[in-house]
Amino acid sequence: MSKKKRKLTTAVNAKKKQRQKEYMTVFMNGKQKRVKRPQTIDGMSVDEFIMKNADQVWLHQNEMWEYMTEEGNIFENENTDQEKRIEDKNISVPF
């Protein structure tokens, strides 16, 4: 007769779950290898999260100029706001 399969202890189960969170199994050259999982934030990759949520100042402070766009130029936005204020002052409203 074969041996009965023993149950894993709570500590062993906890270590196994932690290992599964940190690593994933991939095949390389026909063999299984355990590699670290890529970092994610809310299910997105780190680069994708930064591109969606970072403002222009933060990108500049962290030297991530490749993610900066021309649309989000802060100085252009300030100029357009000032121009709108000037236009609003010049509009005469009859009483």
Residue-wise pLDDT tens digits, 62-79: 888 888 877 645 555 555
Q: What six digits make up the tokens of 38?
A: 């890529």
End-to-end CA distance of the chain, in Å?
A: 102
Residue 75 half-sphere exposure toward CB, CA atoms < 13 A: 1
Q: Do residues 81 and 59 share a domain?
A: yes
User: Domain limits at 60?
Assistant: 54-90
Q: Is the same domain home to 60 and 79? A: yes
Looking at 30-44, 51-65, 68-82, which range is the least confident one? 68-82
65 in the same domain as 37: no
Domains in the chain, number? 2
Q: How far apart are CA 30 and CA 8, in angstroms?
A: 30
Q: What is the pTM of this model?
A: 0.45
Token code pair at residue 94: 């009859």
